[in-house]
């Protein structure tokens, strides 16, 4: 039945590496933002240690995971594996995620280090990082909790093979770009169009936001209908900074009015007192400051 661990126990390490797919869950910090769950398939993941998991993130029309992990003070992520054959089992890996974007120094160093590590280990060969044209980033998860549960209601499924549609699509796109030089066929322009912002308007792939400015690419609209106008992140045009609520603006105006009134009626007195106190020194100054501040609080 259910069990929890601080890191992946030996009994689960080998099982994880034999799985054909898993799910990734993230969410923005805003309670009004959209939670995201993404299925991942193919031999594009692995473990660097019992407390660190990685997967190769392939290009798609959405980029919620990247946006949520890039969001300041966020980086929460959960990876889930299900047993679709053999004994029932569900395994979850909770932790914080880091985005190593394709083209960055961190991306290059991680790929090289990982491939050196698995080079002479036959059991890890299928988890060698073989980059493809659609590779967008490497997501590294530093695990802080592991949970296993029964999975008694998860149905059986027979694995027939990996789909190659996505790989072929971006391979052909990359080939066209190299043959024709047409910038519209480049990965950068695809990323700029679809991966620069999340559906809630959070910044997405950094390389995509750079490409959007470099090639003047307008982002695809990902929120439709009246709901989009109510979201904390997407109020206004896609990609704009979040706007202040009416309550926040009223509060700011009231604070400004109070401070303005205080400065107008007692500003000269405040300046005069400060100048007098600065002319004195030692404990006398501290005592006068305390007495003066108490007089204003009465």
CATH of the domain at 144: 2.30.110.10
- Indicate if 118 and 18 belong to the same structural domain: yes
23 and 128 in a single domain? The answer is yes
Over range 212-236, report the average pLDDT.
75
The whole-number average pLDDT for the span 264-280 is 65
Q: How confident is the model at residue 117 (pLDDT cuts 50, 70, 90)?
A: confident
The structural domain count of the chain equals 2
Question: 266 or 118, which is more confident?
Answer: 118
256 band by pLDDT with thresholds 50, 70 and 90: confident
Residues 289 and 141 grouped into a single domain: no
Query: Quick one: 272 and 168 in the same domain?
Result: no
**Residue 6 pLDDT > 50:** yes
62-74, pLDDT tens digit by residue?
Answer: 999 999 999 999 9
Q: Is residue 223 part of a domain?
A: no
Q: What confidence tens digit (pLDDT) does each residue in 74-106 have?
A: 999 999 999 999 999 999 999 999 999 999 999
How far is Cα of residue 165 from the mean position of the Cα atoms in its chain? 26
User: What is the CB-side half-sphere exposure of residue 93 using CA atoms within 13 A?
Assistant: 27
Decide if 279 is inside a domain. yes
Rounded CA-CA distance 240/224 in Å is 16
Same-domain pairing of 271 and 137: no
Average pLDDT over residues 179-197: 95
Query: In sequence order, which residues have a C-beta less than 8 Å from that of residue 9 and are 6 or more positions away?
Result: 50, 146
- Give the model's pLDDT for residue 240: 42
In a domain, 237, yes or no: no
Q: Quick one: average pLDDT of 180-201?
A: 94
pLDDT of residue 298: 45
Whether residue 142 is found in the same domain as residue 272? no
Residue 230 domain-assigned (yes or no): no
Q: Which of 149, 165, 183 is the last residue before a domain boundary?
A: 183
Residue 225 in domain: no
Query: What tens digit of pLDDT does each residue of 18-50 get?
Result: 999 999 999 999 988 899 999 999 889 999 999
- Which range of residues forms the domain containing residue 284? 246-297
Residues 263 and 141 in one domain: no
What pLDDT is recorded for position 83?
Answer: 96
Please compute the mean of the pLDDT values over residues 110-121 and round it to a whole number. Answer: 85
With b meaning 16 or more CB within 10 Å and e meaning fewer, what string describes 90-105?
A: bbbbbbebbbbbbeee
Residues 177 and 268 in one domain: no
The answer to whether 67 and 191 have CB atoms below 8 angstroms apart is no
Co-location of 118 and 263 in the same domain: no
What's the pLDDT score for residue 252? 77
24 lies in some domain = yes
SS3 annotation, the chain: CCEEECCCCHHHHHHHHCCCEEEEEECCCCCCCCCEEEEEECCCEEEEECCEEEEEEECCCCCHHHHHHHCCCCCEEEEEEECCCCCCCEEEEEEEEEEEECCCHHHHHHHHHHHHHHCCCHHHHHHCCCCCCCEEEEEEEEEEEEEEECCCCCCCCCCCCCCCHHHHHHHHHHHHHHHHCCHHHCHHHHHHHHCCECCCCCECCHHHHHHHHHCCCCCCCCCCCHHHHHCCCCCCCCCCCCCCCHHHHHHHHHHHHHHHHHHHHHHHHHHHHHHHHHHCCHHHHHHHHHHHHHHHHC
Q: Which of 183, 204, 233 is a domain's end point?
A: 183
39 plus 123 within the same structural domain? yes
Query: Which residues lie closer than 8 Å to 264 by C-beta, 6 or more apart?
Result: none
Q: If pLDDT is split at 50, 70 and 90, which confidence band does 52 have?
A: very high
Q: Specify whether 169 is located in the same domain as 78.
A: yes
What value does the mean pLDDT take over residues 198-224? 92
Select from 158, 183, 208 the last residue of a domain.
183
Specify whether 258 is located in the same domain as 166: no
Please report the pLDDT score of residue 241 as a whole number.
43
Residue 19, domain member (yes or no):
yes
Q: 44 vs 126, 161, 202, 243, 285, CA distance in Å?
A: 8, 14, 26, 39, 68
pLDDT tens for 119-155 read 777 666 666 788 998 999 999 999 999 999 999 999 9
In a domain, residue 213? The reply is no
**Higher per-residue pLDDT: 190 or 271:** 190
* Section 259-264 average pLDDT: 72
Mean residue pLDDT of the chain comes to 85
């Amino acid at each position: 039945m259910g069990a929890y661990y601080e890191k992946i126990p030996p009994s689960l390490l080998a099982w994880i590496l034999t799985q054909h797919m898993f799910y990734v869950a993230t969410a923005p910090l805003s309670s009004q933002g959209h939670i995201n769950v993404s299925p991942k398939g193919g031999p594009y993941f692995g473990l660097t240690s019992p407390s660190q998991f990685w997967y190769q993130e392939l290009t798609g029309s959405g980029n919620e995971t990247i946006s949520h992990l890039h969001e300041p003070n966020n980086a929460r992520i959960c990876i889930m594996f299900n047993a679709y054959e053999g004994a029932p089992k569900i395994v979850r890996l909770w932790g914080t995620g880091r985005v190593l974007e394709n083209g960055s120094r961190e991306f290059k160093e991680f790929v090289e280090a990982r491939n050196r590590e698995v080079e002479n280990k036959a059991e890890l060969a299928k988890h060698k990082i073989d980059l493809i044209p659609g590779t967008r980033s490497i997501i590294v998860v530093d695990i802080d909790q592991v949970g296993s549960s029964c999975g008694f209601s998860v149905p059986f499924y027979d694995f027939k093979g990996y789909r190659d549609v996505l790989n072929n699509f971006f391979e052909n796109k990359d080939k066209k770009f190299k043959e024709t030089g047409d910038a519209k066929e480049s990965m950068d322009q695809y990323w700029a169009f679809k991966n620069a912002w999340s559906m809630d308007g959070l910044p997405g792939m950094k390389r995509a936001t750079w490409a959007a400015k470099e090639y003047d690419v307008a982002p695809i609209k990902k929120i439709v209908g009246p709901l989009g106008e109510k979201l904390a992140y997407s109020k206004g045009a896609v990609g704009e900074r979040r706007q202040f609520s009416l309550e926040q603006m009223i509060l700011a105006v009231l604070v400004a009015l109070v401070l303005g009134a205080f400065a107008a009626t007692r500003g000269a007195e405040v300046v005069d007192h400060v100048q007098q106190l600065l002319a004195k020194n030692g404990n006398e100054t501290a005592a006068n400051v305390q007495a003066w501040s108490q007089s204003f609080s009465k």
